[in-house]
Structure 1
Amino acid sequence: MKKLGLATALLLAMTGAQAYQFEVQGQSEFIDNTANNNDFSGAIQGTYYFKNVDSTKGPLAEAAFLNQASNVSLAYSYGELQEDGERDVVHAYGAKAEAYVPTKFVPAYASASYNHTIVDNKTGSADDNGDRYALELGALVAPNFLVAVGYTSVADQASLDAFNIVANGVAKAGLESATIADDQDAITARTKYVGAIDGTNMAIGFETGLVYGESTAYNLKTDLYLTPALSVGASYMESSYNNSPDKAWGANVNYFITPAVSVGASYVNANFEAAQAGEEDATVLDTQTVGLNAKFRF
């Protein structure tokens, strides 16, 4: 009977769960650039929500945001990269906490994260490593509309944000790290909104972001939820960082097979126009990534 009960619980989680408290997501990317076309990366993130997340309020992909669900997360990313004869194995580890706090005025938001990166050089050069700490404060100034500002301290440019890799891919995470560069301190700002489209079963989401470090970068992202389970999206990021690549655009599609299981695919094209940047002889590392991802909730 115990085995039957466990099997039944697992079947419900896989097919029709309408509330969840844990989420595990993973992704992998194939990386093709002008220096090498055999690179790849993979990442995994696990999240625990302090209260059950109701997945019936709108798009399944945004259930935690719509529920203002406080949580803690761990993330890990692994990548193999080769450039100019150097081959690196890059590990990034992260821990993060997010909190939504009701107030008399509007719900307040706060997040704090720590990431550590290890760059293991396989061709004889020195290894590298770095840490980053980030803090964000904000508020939901209107229903499902978050505005937040933050501070990021990067002790070493080798430090990547593992959560950014999971959410947006390795190319954009690398561009964000290059934007902060050796400045060590950066100011960030972002907005996020998710809302229903009146008279339909659809919804739309918008995100904007700004990173002000040694250089400045901005990013834009939008997702159209054709149904609560199916979405298509597009994104664009550009930095004043004067090297390659300095801009990236992407597209993605995600589908929840059940309320507890989703799969998706993404494409990112990151490039650099040397003539416009005044770097005629620069190494141009135009990069394309193709990624697959999956989520499991229980």
Structure 2
Amino acid sequence: MKKLGLATALLLAMTGAQAYQFEVQGQSEYIDITVNDKDFTGGLQGTYYLKDVDSSKGPLAEAAFLNQASNVSVAYNYGELSFVPGMDLIAHNYGIKAEAYVPTQVVPVYTSLSYSHTHLDGKNANTSDDNGDRYALELGAVVVPNFLVAVGYTSVADQTAIDAFNLMGNGVVKAVAETATIGQDQDAITARTKYVGAIDDTNMAIGFESGLIYGDDTAFQLKTDLYVTPKLSMGASYAESSFAGTPDSAWGANVNYFITPAVAVGATYVNANAEQGSVLDTQTVGVNAKFRF
């Protein structure tokens, strides 16, 4: 009976179940830098939602956001990196995060808390081992339906520490640039907005996101997605940092498709340019997949 129940649950997930409580996603990026074209990253993230998420309304990719679904996530990222000549390291990145939406008489209140740990394993005499931790807290509200505004505080005890969930969601170029922007200040203020809304008289929707981080330097990010159907989306992004040790700006494109309401695949591309020092010019190509049950 247990085997039959498991097989039934798997079949429902693969053929189009409209509610889910778990999501597992994986991603990998190939990194082409001026000094090296052999770097790559890979990551896994698992999310548990405290209540079933109804995916029958709106874009499938934004079901959790539209449902204001409180959740707990864990993530792990692996990377083989050599950003500068002579450097050779393996990066391990771990994270845990909790998000909560709390109904009130005025507006739903949003809060999130996350912790990430990064371990760098140097593989030659020019690259030493290193470890770093970072903590982040956000507070905000869904000020109008499907429009989130949040501000936060991030503490980076060591600049080695990368946000594991930023790495999973936005890729290695933007995640590394964010940490570098904080710099030696160790404390940073963040702000972000997110909106998803239907396009009248169609089954399409549009999404917008913006983000700002202020530490030793300042960086911001803009992103938009067009949900051509609830299953298919295409998006574009732009990010910029005032920190001289990273690419000055980066633009990206992505496409995602849900084969069923429970299984999705996607691809990303990022092109980052440095105004001074082409050694920092970077291109990444990524693939990702999600499975919900």
* Fold conserved between structures, TM > 0.5: yes
Larger CA deviation: 125-134 vs 208-217: 125-134
Shift of 1:6: 2.7
Shift of 1:166: 0.6
**SS at the partner of 1:163?**
helix
Shift of 1:57: 1.4
Contact 1:28 1:41 in 2 (8 A): yes
2:117 matched residue in structure 1: 116
Task: State the Cα deviation string for residues 70-93 of structure 1 (Å, max 9, x = none).
Answer: 000000110001121110101110
Shift of 1:283: 5.9
**SS at the partner of 2:160?**
coil
Shift of 1:297: 0.2
Task: State the Cα deviation string for residues 10-30 of structure 1 (Å, max 9, x = none).
Answer: 111111110000000000000
Take 1:126 and 1:283, find their aligned partners in 2: how far apart are those partners? 25
**SS at the partner of 1:37?**
strand
Contact 2:33 2:279 in 1 (8 A): no
Contact 1:243 1:272 in 2 (8 A): no
2:97 matched residue in structure 1: 96
| Structure 2 letter corresponding to 1:37 | D
Task: State the Cα deviation string for residues 247-274 of structure 1 (Å, max 9, x = none).
Answer: 1110000000000000000000111011
1:84 matched residue in structure 2: 85
Shift of 1:7: 1.7
Query: Is 1:284–2:279 an aligned residue pair?
Result: yes
Query: Is 1:253–2:255 an aligned residue pair?
Result: yes
Task: State the Cα deviation string for residues 164-208 of structure 1 (Å, max 9, x = none).
Answer: 011000111011111111110000000000000000010000000
1:279 matched residue in structure 2: none
The gaps in structure 2 that reach 5 residues or longer are: none
Take 2:231 and 2:287, find their aligned partners in 1: how far apart are those partners? 17
| Structure 2 letter corresponding to 1:9 | A
| Structure 2 letter corresponding to 1:88 | L
Question: CA 1:232 to 1:283, structure 2 compared with 1: closer, same or farther past 3 Å?
Answer: closer
Shift of 1:113: 0.3
1:134-213 to 2 correspondences below 5 Å: 134-213=136-215
Shift of 1:9: 2.0
**SS at the partner of 2:77?**
strand
Take 2:146 and 2:223, find their aligned partners in 1: how far apart are those partners? 16
TM (normalized to structure 1)? Answer: 0.96
1:13-162 to 2 correspondences below 5 Å: 13-82=13-82, 83-124=84-125, 125-162=127-164
Structure 1's consecutive aligned runs of 4 or more residues displaced over 2 angstroms after TM superposition are 1-6
2:221 matched residue in structure 1: 219
TM (normalized to structure 2)? Answer: 0.97
Question: CA 1:2 to 1:46, structure 2 compared with 1: closer, same or farther past 3 Å?
Answer: closer
Question: CA 1:184 to 1:2, structure 2 compared with 1: closer, same or farther past 3 Å?
Answer: closer
Shift of 1:126: 2.1
Provide the aligned C-alpha RMSD in A. 1.0
Of all paired residues, the percent bearing the same amino acid is 75
